[in-house]
């Protein structure tokens, strides 16, 4: 028997999803990590888009969650770079940006969803579970 709150399930087999979370705020990274840990996910964090892209290139991920406004490499550039090599991994943005133009740019870059900070950890976890279930 499994506990849905402690395991990410792909129909027919148990699998712990691995998620890359990219945000320049240590506080947001910690909040994301804590929320995703409640779902039993393996979380790898990066502090900017360049570090995120480097991390993404070294192992497979089931989901990428990225901020938009970051130093060194912003989230839109990160999304575009990931999409050059991987057009299937779901990418969610988690940002303070709420401007429709920026949202359109995110969608054009290849983001699959747009979440606005601050976030409710349980709602955030529900969204992540829903996105992962769709790609299973």
Rounded CA-CA distance 67/97 in Å is 9
pLDDT in tens, 64-101: 999 999 999 999 999 999 999 999 999 999 988 888 89
pLDDT attached to residue 6: 36
Strands (E), the chain: 9-10, 13-14, 18-22, 42-46, 63-66, 91-95, 113-116
Residue boundaries of the structural domains of the chain: 13-135
pLDDT in tens, 7-39: 444 443 346 899 999 999 999 999 999 999 988
Rounded CA-CA distance 54/39 in Å is 25
What is the model's pTM? 0.87
- Class for the domain spanning 13-135: alpha beta
**With 70 as the cut, is the pLDDT of residue 3 above it?**
no
**With 80 as the cut, is the pLDDT of residue 1 above it?**
no
pLDDT attached to residue 15: 60
């Amino acid at each position: 028997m499994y506990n849905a709150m402690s395991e990410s399930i792909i129909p027919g087999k148990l699998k712990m999803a691995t998620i890359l979370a990219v945000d320049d705020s240590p506080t947001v990274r910690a909040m994301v990590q804590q929320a995703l840990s409640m779902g039993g996910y393996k979380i790898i964090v990066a502090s900017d888009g360049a570090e995120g892209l480097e991390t993404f290139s070294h192992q497979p991920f089931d989901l990428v969650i990225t901020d938009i406004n970051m130093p060194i490499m912003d989230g839109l550039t990160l999304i575009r770079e990931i999409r050059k090599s991987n057009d299937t991994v779901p990418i969610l943005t988690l940002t303070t940006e709420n401007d429709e133009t920026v949202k359109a740019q995110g969608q054009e870059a290849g983001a699959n969803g747009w979440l606005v900070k601050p976030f409710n950890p349980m709602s955030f976890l529900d969204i992540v579970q829903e996105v992962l279930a769709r790609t299973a």
